[in-house]
Structure 1
Amino acid sequence: MSFMSPGQVVWFEIGTTDPEAVTGFYGPLLGWSFEVDPDSSVDGRTYTRVLAPGAPWPMGAIQQGDTGGEAINLSILSTDVHADVDRLTALGATVVVPATRVADVTVFARLTDPRGNLFSLFSQSTSQRFEERMAGTEEYMEQAALTPQPGSMGWFEIGTTDPRATTDFYTAAFGWRFEEDDTAGGKPYSNVFGPGAPWPSGGLWDHSGDGADGADYMMPCFLVTDVAATTDAARRLGARVEHGPDANPDGTAYARLTDPRGNRFGLFSPPARPTAG
Protein backbone atom coordinates (compact mmCIF):
# COMPACT_ATOMS: atom_id res chain seq x y z
CA MET A 1 0.00 0.00 0.00
CA SER A 2 1.51 3.31 -1.10
CA PHE A 3 1.95 6.39 1.03
CA MET A 4 -0.07 8.18 -1.66
CA SER A 5 -3.04 5.83 -1.23
CA PRO A 6 -6.52 7.04 -0.24
CA GLY A 7 -6.97 7.41 3.50
CA GLN A 8 -3.37 8.44 4.15
CA VAL A 9 -2.34 11.74 5.73
CA VAL A 10 -0.14 13.31 3.05
CA TRP A 11 -0.22 17.10 3.62
CA PHE A 12 -0.80 19.76 6.24
CA GLU A 13 -2.13 23.31 6.05
CA ILE A 14 -1.76 26.25 8.38
CA GLY A 15 -4.60 28.74 8.07
CA THR A 16 -3.72 32.25 9.16
CA THR A 17 -4.44 35.93 8.63
CA ASP A 18 -0.72 36.69 8.88
CA PRO A 19 1.42 34.43 6.62
CA GLU A 20 4.54 36.47 7.32
CA ALA A 21 4.25 35.76 11.04
CA VAL A 22 3.97 32.04 10.30
CA THR A 23 6.94 31.95 7.93
CA GLY A 24 8.91 34.11 10.36
CA PHE A 25 8.44 31.47 13.07
CA TYR A 26 8.83 28.16 11.23
CA GLY A 27 11.51 29.27 8.77
CA PRO A 28 14.18 29.97 11.40
CA LEU A 29 12.98 27.16 13.67
CA LEU A 30 12.83 24.25 11.21
CA GLY A 31 14.72 25.56 8.19
CA TRP A 32 11.63 25.64 5.99
CA SER A 33 11.58 27.50 2.70
CA PHE A 34 8.45 28.89 1.06
CA GLU A 35 7.06 29.48 -2.41
CA VAL A 36 3.89 31.42 -3.10
CA ASP A 37 1.55 29.76 -5.59
CA PRO A 38 1.35 32.38 -8.37
CA ASP A 39 -2.20 31.26 -9.23
CA SER A 40 -3.48 31.61 -5.68
CA SER A 41 -3.68 35.34 -5.08
CA VAL A 42 -7.37 36.20 -4.80
CA ASP A 43 -8.42 39.40 -3.05
CA GLY A 44 -4.89 39.70 -1.71
CA ARG A 45 -4.90 36.20 -0.17
CA THR A 46 -2.15 33.74 -1.00
CA TYR A 47 -1.42 30.03 -0.80
CA THR A 48 2.21 29.47 0.19
CA ARG A 49 3.77 26.05 -0.21
CA VAL A 50 6.10 24.77 2.54
CA LEU A 51 9.30 22.88 1.75
CA ALA A 52 11.49 21.06 4.26
CA PRO A 53 15.25 21.68 4.05
CA GLY A 54 16.63 20.24 0.82
CA ALA A 55 13.26 18.92 -0.33
CA PRO A 56 12.33 19.25 -4.03
CA TRP A 57 8.59 19.03 -3.36
CA PRO A 58 6.38 20.72 -0.72
CA MET A 59 4.91 18.87 2.25
CA GLY A 60 2.29 21.43 3.23
CA ALA A 61 1.07 24.97 2.79
CA ILE A 62 0.09 28.20 4.50
CA GLN A 63 -3.42 29.29 3.57
CA GLN A 64 -4.11 32.99 4.04
CA GLY A 65 -7.68 33.38 5.24
CA ASP A 66 -10.06 36.17 6.03
CA THR A 67 -12.05 34.65 8.89
CA GLY A 68 -9.89 36.07 11.65
CA GLY A 69 -9.11 32.60 12.99
CA GLU A 70 -5.95 30.53 13.10
CA ALA A 71 -6.04 26.82 12.38
CA ILE A 72 -3.83 23.91 11.46
CA ASN A 73 -5.15 20.78 9.81
CA LEU A 74 -3.96 17.53 8.32
CA SER A 75 -5.03 16.64 4.78
CA ILE A 76 -6.13 13.12 3.88
CA LEU A 77 -6.11 11.78 0.34
CA SER A 78 -9.50 10.91 -1.16
CA THR A 79 -10.61 9.36 -4.44
CA ASP A 80 -13.95 11.21 -4.37
CA VAL A 81 -14.22 14.21 -2.08
CA HIS A 82 -17.95 14.78 -2.70
CA ALA A 83 -18.81 11.19 -1.83
CA ASP A 84 -16.50 11.14 1.18
CA VAL A 85 -18.05 14.33 2.57
CA ASP A 86 -21.48 12.67 2.48
CA ARG A 87 -20.12 9.48 4.01
CA LEU A 88 -18.20 11.23 6.80
CA THR A 89 -21.05 13.52 7.79
CA ALA A 90 -23.16 10.39 8.24
CA LEU A 91 -20.45 9.21 10.67
CA GLY A 92 -20.69 12.43 12.70
CA ALA A 93 -18.28 14.82 10.96
CA THR A 94 -19.25 18.45 10.38
CA VAL A 95 -18.58 20.31 7.12
CA VAL A 96 -16.59 23.54 7.48
CA VAL A 97 -15.83 24.08 3.78
CA PRO A 98 -17.88 22.01 1.30
CA ALA A 99 -16.28 20.11 -1.56
CA THR A 100 -14.66 22.80 -3.71
CA ARG A 101 -12.76 22.60 -6.98
CA VAL A 102 -9.54 24.62 -7.22
CA ALA A 103 -8.90 25.43 -10.89
CA ASP A 104 -8.01 22.16 -12.61
CA VAL A 105 -5.65 21.05 -9.85
CA THR A 106 -7.70 19.39 -7.12
CA VAL A 107 -10.94 19.14 -5.18
CA PHE A 108 -10.86 19.70 -1.42
CA ALA A 109 -13.17 19.95 1.56
CA ARG A 110 -12.61 20.85 5.19
CA LEU A 111 -14.42 19.15 8.07
CA THR A 112 -14.26 18.56 11.79
CA ASP A 113 -14.42 15.11 13.33
CA PRO A 114 -16.95 14.31 16.10
CA ARG A 115 -14.45 15.61 18.69
CA GLY A 116 -14.10 18.98 16.92
CA ASN A 117 -10.70 18.38 15.28
CA LEU A 118 -10.18 20.04 11.91
CA PHE A 119 -9.02 17.99 8.92
CA SER A 120 -9.16 18.23 5.13
CA LEU A 121 -9.90 15.90 2.26
CA PHE A 122 -8.40 16.36 -1.17
CA SER A 123 -8.31 14.42 -4.41
CA GLN A 124 -5.62 14.29 -7.04
CA SER A 125 -6.58 15.79 -10.36
CA THR A 126 -6.43 13.77 -13.56
CA SER A 127 -5.69 16.89 -15.62
CA GLN A 128 -2.62 16.90 -17.83
CA ARG A 129 -1.35 20.04 -16.12
CA PHE A 130 -1.46 18.40 -12.71
CA GLU A 131 0.10 15.17 -13.96
CA GLU A 132 2.99 17.15 -15.44
CA ARG A 133 3.56 18.92 -12.14
CA MET A 134 3.42 15.63 -10.21
CA ALA A 135 5.78 13.74 -12.54
CA GLY A 136 8.56 12.19 -10.49
CA THR A 137 7.28 13.45 -7.14
CA GLU A 138 5.40 10.40 -5.87
CA GLU A 139 8.63 8.42 -5.49
CA TYR A 140 10.13 11.31 -3.54
CA MET A 141 7.10 11.60 -1.26
CA GLU A 142 7.10 7.85 -0.63
CA GLN A 143 10.75 7.96 0.38
CA ALA A 144 10.19 11.05 2.53
CA ALA A 145 7.43 9.22 4.41
CA LEU A 146 9.69 6.22 5.08
CA THR A 147 12.85 8.15 5.97
CA PRO A 148 11.89 11.72 6.88
CA GLN A 149 14.63 14.32 7.06
CA PRO A 150 15.01 16.97 9.79
CA GLY A 151 12.44 19.72 9.40
CA SER A 152 9.91 17.52 7.61
CA MET A 153 6.55 16.19 8.76
CA GLY A 154 7.35 12.63 9.75
CA TRP A 155 4.41 11.83 12.03
CA PHE A 156 1.00 13.06 13.12
CA GLU A 157 -0.71 12.80 16.45
CA ILE A 158 -4.29 12.74 17.66
CA GLY A 159 -4.96 13.61 21.27
CA THR A 160 -8.35 12.60 22.61
CA THR A 161 -10.34 12.50 25.82
CA ASP A 162 -12.64 9.88 24.27
CA PRO A 163 -10.48 7.23 22.60
CA ARG A 164 -13.42 4.97 21.77
CA ALA A 165 -15.25 7.70 19.85
CA THR A 166 -12.06 8.77 18.08
CA THR A 167 -10.89 5.31 17.04
CA ASP A 168 -14.41 4.31 15.96
CA PHE A 169 -14.68 7.36 13.72
CA TYR A 170 -11.31 7.09 11.99
CA THR A 171 -11.57 3.33 11.59
CA ALA A 172 -14.93 3.70 9.86
CA ALA A 173 -13.91 6.85 7.99
CA PHE A 174 -10.54 5.80 6.55
CA GLY A 175 -9.82 2.23 7.59
CA TRP A 176 -7.16 3.29 10.10
CA ARG A 177 -5.85 0.68 12.52
CA PHE A 178 -4.83 1.45 16.10
CA GLU A 179 -2.32 -0.69 18.01
CA GLU A 180 -0.90 -0.11 21.49
CA ASP A 181 2.65 1.21 21.37
CA ASP A 182 4.71 -1.11 23.54
CA THR A 183 7.73 1.22 23.33
CA ALA A 184 5.91 4.10 25.06
CA GLY A 185 6.85 3.02 28.59
CA GLY A 186 3.29 2.55 29.79
CA LYS A 187 1.97 5.84 28.40
CA PRO A 188 -1.58 5.57 26.98
CA TYR A 189 -0.32 5.77 23.40
CA SER A 190 -1.28 3.84 20.27
CA ASN A 191 0.27 3.74 16.82
CA VAL A 192 -1.95 4.64 13.88
CA PHE A 193 -1.65 2.65 10.65
CA GLY A 194 -3.19 3.94 7.43
CA PRO A 195 -5.33 1.57 5.36
CA GLY A 196 -3.28 -1.50 4.52
CA ALA A 197 -0.02 0.12 5.66
CA PRO A 198 2.64 -2.13 7.24
CA TRP A 199 4.12 0.74 9.25
CA PRO A 200 2.51 3.45 11.42
CA SER A 201 2.39 7.05 10.25
CA GLY A 202 0.89 8.59 13.36
CA GLY A 203 -0.12 8.08 16.95
CA LEU A 204 -3.04 8.52 19.33
CA TRP A 205 -2.57 9.82 22.87
CA ASP A 206 -5.37 8.94 25.29
CA HIS A 207 -5.94 12.02 27.47
CA SER A 208 -9.06 10.63 29.15
CA GLY A 209 -7.17 10.24 32.42
CA ASP A 210 -5.80 13.79 32.44
CA GLY A 211 -8.80 15.42 34.09
CA ALA A 212 -9.06 19.15 33.39
CA ASP A 213 -5.75 19.01 31.50
CA GLY A 214 -7.10 16.65 28.87
CA ALA A 215 -7.03 17.77 25.28
CA ASP A 216 -8.53 16.91 21.91
CA TYR A 217 -6.35 17.83 18.96
CA MET A 218 -4.93 16.62 15.65
CA MET A 219 -1.48 17.93 14.80
CA PRO A 220 1.52 17.43 12.50
CA CYS A 221 4.80 16.39 14.10
CA PHE A 222 8.12 17.48 12.69
CA LEU A 223 11.39 15.59 12.86
CA VAL A 224 14.33 17.39 14.48
CA THR A 225 17.79 16.28 15.54
CA ASP A 226 17.53 17.65 19.09
CA VAL A 227 14.07 18.02 20.62
CA ALA A 228 15.25 19.86 23.75
CA ALA A 229 17.28 22.43 21.81
CA THR A 230 14.53 22.98 19.24
CA THR A 231 11.94 23.35 22.00
CA ASP A 232 14.08 26.01 23.64
CA ALA A 233 14.47 27.79 20.29
CA ALA A 234 10.71 27.65 19.72
CA ARG A 235 10.09 29.17 23.15
CA ARG A 236 12.45 32.02 22.37
CA LEU A 237 10.53 32.63 19.13
CA GLY A 238 7.25 32.93 21.05
CA ALA A 239 5.93 29.36 21.21
CA ARG A 240 4.27 27.87 24.28
CA VAL A 241 5.34 24.43 25.47
CA GLU A 242 2.40 22.18 26.41
CA HIS A 243 4.30 18.96 27.08
CA GLY A 244 7.92 17.90 27.26
CA PRO A 245 10.54 17.59 26.21
CA ASP A 246 9.98 13.96 27.20
CA ALA A 247 11.29 10.60 26.08
CA ASN A 248 10.23 6.97 25.78
CA PRO A 249 12.36 4.11 27.10
CA ASP A 250 13.50 3.34 23.54
CA GLY A 251 14.99 6.84 23.23
CA THR A 252 12.29 8.51 21.16
CA ALA A 253 12.12 12.16 22.26
CA TYR A 254 9.13 14.43 21.76
CA ALA A 255 7.45 17.66 22.76
CA ARG A 256 4.08 19.29 22.10
CA LEU A 257 3.85 23.06 21.56
CA THR A 258 1.67 25.82 20.21
CA ASP A 259 3.19 28.40 17.89
CA PRO A 260 2.79 32.16 18.48
CA ARG A 261 -0.48 32.07 16.47
CA GLY A 262 -1.92 29.32 18.70
CA ASN A 263 -1.47 26.40 16.29
CA ARG A 264 -0.48 23.11 17.89
CA PHE A 265 2.42 21.05 16.56
CA GLY A 266 4.80 18.34 17.73
CA LEU A 267 8.55 17.82 17.62
CA PHE A 268 10.18 14.40 17.73
CA SER A 269 13.44 12.58 17.19
CA PRO A 270 13.74 8.80 16.81
CA PRO A 271 15.98 6.57 18.93
CA ALA A 272 19.67 6.84 18.13
CA ARG A 273 20.89 4.11 15.84
CA PRO A 274 23.52 1.82 17.37
CA THR A 275 27.01 2.49 16.08
CA ALA A 276 29.03 -0.23 14.48
CA GLY A 277 31.43 -1.94 16.87
Structure 2
Amino acid sequence: MGFMDPGNVVWFEISTADGQAVKDFYGPLLGWSFAVDPDSSVGGVTYTRIMAPGMPFPMGAIYDNAHSPEETMNVSIVSADVAADQERLEKTGATVVVPATAVSDVTTFARLADPRGNVFSLFQNNQTPERLKEFADQAGEQMQEMTAGPVPGAYAWFEIGSTDAEATKDFYTRAFGWQIVFDETAGGKPYSNVFTGNQWPSGGMYDLGTDGVDYLMPDFLVLDVPATTARAQELGATVEFGPDANPDGLVYSRLLDPRGNRFGLFSMPTNAPQVSA
Protein backbone atom coordinates (compact mmCIF):
# COMPACT_ATOMS: atom_id res chain seq x y z
CA MET A 1 0.00 0.00 0.00
CA GLY A 2 1.33 3.42 -0.94
CA PHE A 3 1.62 6.40 1.37
CA MET A 4 -1.10 8.34 -0.49
CA ASP A 5 -3.54 5.44 -0.91
CA PRO A 6 -7.10 5.94 0.39
CA GLY A 7 -7.52 5.21 4.08
CA ASN A 8 -4.11 6.45 5.17
CA VAL A 9 -3.77 9.28 7.67
CA VAL A 10 -1.30 11.65 6.01
CA TRP A 11 -1.90 15.15 7.38
CA PHE A 12 -3.19 17.15 10.31
CA GLU A 13 -4.87 20.52 10.36
CA ILE A 14 -5.38 23.16 13.02
CA SER A 15 -8.42 25.36 12.49
CA THR A 16 -8.20 28.57 14.49
CA ALA A 17 -9.18 32.22 14.73
CA ASP A 18 -5.66 33.12 15.87
CA GLY A 19 -2.96 31.53 13.75
CA GLN A 20 -0.22 33.57 15.39
CA ALA A 21 -1.09 32.14 18.80
CA VAL A 22 -0.79 28.64 17.34
CA LYS A 23 2.63 29.47 15.89
CA ASP A 24 3.78 31.03 19.16
CA PHE A 25 2.99 27.82 21.01
CA TYR A 26 4.10 25.04 18.65
CA GLY A 27 7.06 26.85 17.12
CA PRO A 28 9.08 27.08 20.35
CA LEU A 29 7.74 23.75 21.66
CA LEU A 30 8.40 21.48 18.66
CA GLY A 31 10.61 23.57 16.40
CA TRP A 32 8.02 23.89 13.65
CA SER A 33 8.48 26.35 10.80
CA PHE A 34 5.64 27.85 8.78
CA ALA A 35 5.00 28.96 5.19
CA VAL A 36 1.83 30.56 3.84
CA ASP A 37 0.26 28.66 0.93
CA PRO A 38 -0.56 31.39 -1.64
CA ASP A 39 -2.88 29.09 -3.64
CA SER A 40 -5.14 28.39 -0.67
CA SER A 41 -5.24 31.73 1.13
CA VAL A 42 -8.30 33.58 -0.15
CA GLY A 43 -11.43 35.22 1.21
CA GLY A 44 -9.96 36.24 4.53
CA VAL A 45 -8.62 32.76 5.22
CA THR A 46 -4.90 32.04 5.46
CA TYR A 47 -3.69 28.48 4.97
CA THR A 48 -0.22 28.00 6.42
CA ARG A 49 1.89 24.89 5.90
CA ILE A 50 3.66 23.35 8.88
CA MET A 51 7.15 21.82 8.54
CA ALA A 52 8.97 19.71 11.11
CA PRO A 53 12.60 20.69 11.81
CA GLY A 54 14.80 19.99 8.81
CA MET A 55 12.02 18.52 6.67
CA PRO A 56 11.47 20.00 3.19
CA PHE A 57 7.81 19.02 2.88
CA PRO A 58 4.85 20.02 5.07
CA MET A 59 3.16 17.55 7.42
CA GLY A 60 0.13 19.67 8.28
CA ALA A 61 -1.37 23.14 8.12
CA ILE A 62 -3.03 25.95 10.03
CA TYR A 63 -6.44 27.00 8.70
CA ASP A 64 -6.47 30.57 10.01
CA ASN A 65 -9.86 32.28 9.81
CA ALA A 66 -10.43 35.25 12.11
CA HIS A 67 -14.19 34.73 11.82
CA SER A 68 -14.10 31.01 12.58
CA PRO A 69 -16.15 29.96 15.62
CA GLU A 70 -14.21 26.74 16.05
CA GLU A 71 -10.85 25.73 17.46
CA THR A 72 -9.99 22.21 16.30
CA MET A 73 -7.05 19.99 15.52
CA ASN A 74 -7.90 17.03 13.33
CA VAL A 75 -6.15 14.37 11.30
CA SER A 76 -6.78 14.05 7.55
CA ILE A 77 -7.45 10.79 5.75
CA VAL A 78 -6.80 10.21 2.04
CA SER A 79 -9.91 9.72 -0.08
CA ALA A 80 -10.28 8.80 -3.76
CA ASP A 81 -13.62 10.62 -3.92
CA VAL A 82 -14.48 12.95 -1.04
CA ALA A 83 -18.11 13.55 -2.06
CA ALA A 84 -18.82 9.83 -2.41
CA ASP A 85 -17.06 9.01 0.86
CA GLN A 86 -18.96 11.77 2.65
CA GLU A 87 -22.27 10.25 1.52
CA ARG A 88 -21.13 6.74 2.41
CA LEU A 89 -19.85 7.69 5.85
CA GLU A 90 -23.06 9.53 6.73
CA LYS A 91 -24.82 6.19 6.33
CA THR A 92 -22.40 4.61 8.83
CA GLY A 93 -23.14 7.22 11.50
CA ALA A 94 -20.78 10.11 10.71
CA THR A 95 -21.92 13.73 10.81
CA VAL A 96 -20.90 16.31 8.22
CA VAL A 97 -19.20 19.36 9.76
CA VAL A 98 -17.96 20.92 6.49
CA PRO A 99 -19.33 19.37 3.26
CA ALA A 100 -17.11 18.41 0.32
CA THR A 101 -15.39 21.63 -0.75
CA ALA A 102 -12.99 22.24 -3.63
CA VAL A 103 -9.93 24.42 -2.90
CA SER A 104 -9.12 26.00 -6.29
CA ASP A 105 -8.18 23.11 -8.58
CA VAL A 106 -5.76 21.56 -6.10
CA THR A 107 -7.75 19.59 -3.53
CA THR A 108 -11.19 18.68 -2.29
CA PHE A 109 -11.80 18.19 1.41
CA ALA A 110 -14.63 17.54 3.82
CA ARG A 111 -14.69 17.62 7.60
CA LEU A 112 -16.78 15.06 9.45
CA ALA A 113 -17.34 13.80 12.98
CA ASP A 114 -17.43 10.10 13.80
CA PRO A 115 -20.34 8.70 15.87
CA ARG A 116 -18.45 9.56 19.09
CA GLY A 117 -18.10 13.21 18.02
CA ASN A 118 -14.42 13.09 16.97
CA VAL A 119 -13.63 15.36 14.03
CA PHE A 120 -11.53 14.21 11.06
CA SER A 121 -11.03 15.37 7.49
CA LEU A 122 -11.18 13.64 4.14
CA PHE A 123 -8.59 14.81 1.62
CA GLN A 124 -8.51 14.32 -2.17
CA ASN A 125 -5.81 15.61 -4.50
CA ASN A 126 -7.35 16.92 -7.75
CA GLN A 127 -4.16 17.65 -9.65
CA THR A 128 -3.03 16.10 -12.92
CA PRO A 129 -1.64 12.54 -12.91
CA GLU A 130 1.85 13.95 -13.48
CA ARG A 131 1.56 16.35 -10.51
CA LEU A 132 0.03 13.61 -8.39
CA LYS A 133 3.01 11.37 -9.10
CA GLU A 134 5.38 14.21 -8.20
CA PHE A 135 3.47 14.82 -4.96
CA ALA A 136 3.48 11.11 -4.07
CA ASP A 137 7.21 10.89 -4.82
CA GLN A 138 7.88 13.86 -2.54
CA ALA A 139 5.76 12.32 0.21
CA GLY A 140 7.60 9.04 -0.23
CA GLU A 141 10.95 10.80 0.08
CA GLN A 142 9.84 12.45 3.29
CA MET A 143 8.65 9.13 4.73
CA GLN A 144 11.97 7.50 3.77
CA GLU A 145 13.85 10.29 5.57
CA MET A 146 11.70 9.80 8.65
CA THR A 147 12.17 6.02 8.49
CA ALA A 148 15.92 6.41 8.27
CA GLY A 149 15.97 8.74 11.26
CA PRO A 150 12.67 9.98 12.77
CA VAL A 151 12.63 13.73 13.17
CA PRO A 152 11.85 15.26 16.58
CA GLY A 153 8.83 17.53 16.28
CA ALA A 154 7.26 15.56 13.44
CA TYR A 155 3.77 14.16 13.25
CA ALA A 156 4.35 10.41 13.57
CA TRP A 157 1.21 8.75 15.01
CA PHE A 158 -2.47 9.28 15.64
CA GLU A 159 -4.53 8.09 18.57
CA ILE A 160 -8.20 7.45 19.17
CA GLY A 161 -9.52 7.52 22.72
CA SER A 162 -12.90 5.87 23.10
CA THR A 163 -15.44 5.33 25.86
CA ASP A 164 -17.08 2.74 23.57
CA ALA A 165 -14.21 0.85 22.00
CA GLU A 166 -16.37 -1.68 20.17
CA ALA A 167 -18.48 1.03 18.51
CA THR A 168 -15.34 2.95 17.54
CA LYS A 169 -13.66 -0.15 16.15
CA ASP A 170 -16.79 -1.01 14.16
CA PHE A 171 -17.03 2.47 12.64
CA TYR A 172 -13.42 2.80 11.48
CA THR A 173 -13.27 -0.78 10.24
CA ARG A 174 -16.34 -0.21 8.06
CA ALA A 175 -15.40 3.33 7.12
CA PHE A 176 -11.79 2.80 6.01
CA GLY A 177 -10.98 -0.89 6.34
CA TRP A 178 -8.66 -0.25 9.29
CA GLN A 179 -7.57 -3.20 11.41
CA ILE A 180 -7.52 -2.55 15.15
CA VAL A 181 -5.48 -5.15 17.04
CA PHE A 182 -4.77 -5.39 20.78
CA ASP A 183 -1.19 -4.34 21.60
CA GLU A 184 0.51 -7.10 23.58
CA THR A 185 3.53 -4.86 24.31
CA ALA A 186 1.57 -2.19 26.22
CA GLY A 187 1.95 -3.89 29.60
CA GLY A 188 -1.68 -4.90 29.94
CA LYS A 189 -3.06 -1.43 29.19
CA PRO A 190 -6.28 -1.39 27.13
CA TYR A 191 -4.44 -0.23 24.00
CA SER A 192 -4.73 -1.43 20.42
CA ASN A 193 -2.66 -0.73 17.32
CA VAL A 194 -4.40 0.65 14.24
CA PHE A 195 -3.28 -0.65 10.85
CA THR A 196 -4.47 1.56 7.99
CA GLY A 197 -3.27 -0.83 5.29
CA ASN A 198 0.48 -0.89 5.84
CA GLN A 199 2.67 -3.58 7.42
CA TRP A 200 3.21 -1.51 10.55
CA PRO A 201 0.62 0.36 12.63
CA SER A 202 0.33 4.09 12.09
CA GLY A 203 -1.98 4.82 15.01
CA GLY A 204 -3.52 3.45 18.16
CA MET A 205 -6.76 3.24 20.09
CA TYR A 206 -7.02 3.64 23.87
CA ASP A 207 -10.05 2.00 25.50
CA LEU A 208 -11.06 4.59 28.11
CA GLY A 209 -13.89 2.50 29.50
CA THR A 210 -16.42 4.85 31.04
CA ASP A 211 -13.79 7.24 32.39
CA GLY A 212 -12.70 9.99 30.02
CA VAL A 213 -13.58 12.03 26.96
CA ASP A 214 -13.52 10.60 23.44
CA TYR A 215 -10.85 12.05 21.14
CA LEU A 216 -8.96 11.63 17.87
CA MET A 217 -5.61 13.43 17.93
CA PRO A 218 -2.21 13.65 16.26
CA ASP A 219 0.90 12.61 18.19
CA PHE A 220 4.33 14.20 17.78
CA LEU A 221 7.72 12.60 18.26
CA VAL A 222 10.09 14.19 20.79
CA LEU A 223 13.39 13.25 22.40
CA ASP A 224 12.32 13.79 26.02
CA VAL A 225 8.63 13.55 26.86
CA PRO A 226 8.81 14.78 30.49
CA ALA A 227 10.93 17.81 29.54
CA THR A 228 8.77 18.69 26.51
CA THR A 229 5.61 18.23 28.58
CA ALA A 230 6.97 20.62 31.21
CA ARG A 231 7.89 23.12 28.50
CA ALA A 232 4.37 22.87 27.07
CA GLN A 233 2.96 23.74 30.49
CA GLU A 234 5.21 26.78 30.65
CA LEU A 235 3.77 27.85 27.29
CA GLY A 236 0.20 27.51 28.55
CA ALA A 237 -0.75 23.87 27.88
CA THR A 238 -2.67 21.63 30.26
CA VAL A 239 -1.49 18.08 30.91
CA GLU A 240 -4.39 15.66 30.59
CA PHE A 241 -2.45 12.41 31.05
CA GLY A 242 1.11 11.36 31.79
CA PRO A 243 3.96 11.34 31.29
CA ASP A 244 3.65 7.56 31.45
CA ALA A 245 5.72 4.69 30.06
CA ASN A 246 5.28 1.23 28.56
CA PRO A 247 7.45 -1.74 29.55
CA ASP A 248 9.42 -1.36 26.29
CA GLY A 249 10.45 2.18 27.27
CA LEU A 250 8.05 4.16 25.10
CA VAL A 251 7.06 7.33 26.98
CA TYR A 252 4.02 9.42 26.20
CA SER A 253 1.73 12.17 27.45
CA ARG A 254 -1.55 13.74 26.35
CA LEU A 255 -2.12 17.50 26.52
CA LEU A 256 -4.45 20.35 25.65
CA ASP A 257 -2.78 23.34 24.00
CA PRO A 258 -3.68 26.90 25.08
CA ARG A 259 -6.50 26.93 22.48
CA GLY A 260 -8.00 23.71 23.90
CA ASN A 261 -6.77 21.38 21.15
CA ARG A 262 -5.70 17.90 22.21
CA PHE A 263 -2.39 16.40 21.07
CA GLY A 264 0.06 13.74 22.17
CA LEU A 265 3.80 13.56 22.71
CA PHE A 266 5.83 10.37 22.61
CA SER A 267 9.42 9.15 22.50
CA MET A 268 10.62 5.93 20.92
CA PRO A 269 10.99 2.66 22.88
CA THR A 270 14.41 2.08 24.37
CA ASN A 271 15.16 -0.74 21.92
CA ALA A 272 14.20 1.34 18.87
CA PRO A 273 16.74 3.12 16.62
CA GLN A 274 17.97 6.36 18.17
CA VAL A 275 16.30 9.57 17.05
CA SER A 276 18.65 12.07 15.50
CA ALA A 277 18.73 15.48 17.14
Structure 2 residue aligned with 1:152, among 151, 154, 178? Answer: 154
The yes-or-no answer on 1:134 pairing with 2:135 is yes
The whole-number CA distance in structure 2 between the counterparts of 1:16 and 1:129 is 33
CA distance 1:191–1:155, shift in 2 (3 Å)? same
Shift of 1:259: 0.3
1:260 equivalent to 2:258? Answer yes
1:105·1:130 contact (CA, 8 Å) conserved in 2?
A: no
- Is the Cα contact below 8 Å between 1:105 and 1:127 reproduced in 2? no
Are the counterparts in 2 of residues 14 and 61 from structure 1 also a CA contact under 8 Å? Answer: yes
Query: What displacement does 1:124 show?
Result: 1.6
1:241-260 residue CA offsets vs partner (Å, 9 max, x unmatched): 00000000100000000000
- Is 73-82 or 123-132 further displaced after alignment? 123-132
Question: Structure 1 pair 188/194, CA: closer, same or farther in 2 (3 Å)?
Answer: same
Counterpart-to-counterpart distance in 1, 2:136 and 2:247: 41
Once residues 104 and 134 of structure 2 are traced to their aligned partners in structure 1, the CA distance between those partners, rounded to angstroms, is 14
Distance in 2 between residues matched to 1:199 and 1:145, nearest whole Å: 14
Other-structure match for 1:247: 245
Task: Tell me the distance in 1 between the aligned counterparts of 2:175 and 2:129.
Answer: 30
Q: Which amino acid aligns with 2:195?
A: F
* Alpha carbons 1:3, 1:145 under 8 Å: kept: no
Structure 2: tracts of 5 or more residues without a match: none
The alpha-carbon deviation at position 135 of structure 1 amounts to 6.7
Task: Tell whether the 8 Å contact from 2:55 to 2:142 is kept in structure 1 after alignment.
Answer: no
- The answer to whether structure 1 residue 7 and structure 2 residue 7 are counterparts is yes
CA distance in 2, matches of 1:61, 1:198: 27
Segments of 5+ residues of structure 1 without an aligned counterpart are none
How far apart, in 1, do the equivalents of 2:253 and 2:38 lie?
35
| Maintained 8 Å contact 2:193/2:203 | yes
Distance in 1 separating the partners of 2:150 and 2:119: 24
Shift of 1:131: 3.8
TM-score for the superposition, normalised by structure 2: 0.93
Q: 1:141: Cα distance to partner?
A: 3.5
Equivalent of 1:215 in 190, 209, 213: 213
Q: Distance in 2 between matches of 1:175 and 1:107?
A: 21
Deviations 1:128-173 (A, max 9, x none): 7844862741322432564531100110000000001100000000
Aligned to 2:83: 82
Aligned to 1:64: 64
Q: Deviations over 1:59-113 (max 9, x none)?
A: 0000013222200110000001111011100000001111111111111111000
CA distance, structure 2, for counterparts of residue 186 and residue 162 of structure 1: 18
Letter in 2 for 1:123: Q
The TM-score, its normalising length taken from structure 1, stands at 0.93
Secondary structure of the equivalent of 1:151? coil
Percent identical among aligned pairs is: 61
Letter of the aligned partner of 2:237 in structure 1? A
Length, aligned pairs only = 271
Taking structure 1 as reference, are residues 209 and 104 closer, same or farther at Cα in structure 2, changes over 3 Å only? same
Deviation at 1:126, TM superposition (A): 3.1
In the alignment, which residue of structure 2 is the partner of 1:44? 44
1:104-143 equivalence runs, <5 A? 104-127=105-128, 130-131=131-132, 134=135, 136-143=137-144
* Corresponding residue SS for 1:27: helix
Q: Distance in 2 between matches of 1:263 and 1:90?
A: 28
CA pair 274-5 structure 1, distance change in 2 beyond 3 A: closer
Residue in 2 that maps onto 1:165: 167
Letter in 2 for 1:117: N
Equivalent residue, structure 2, for 1:32 = 32
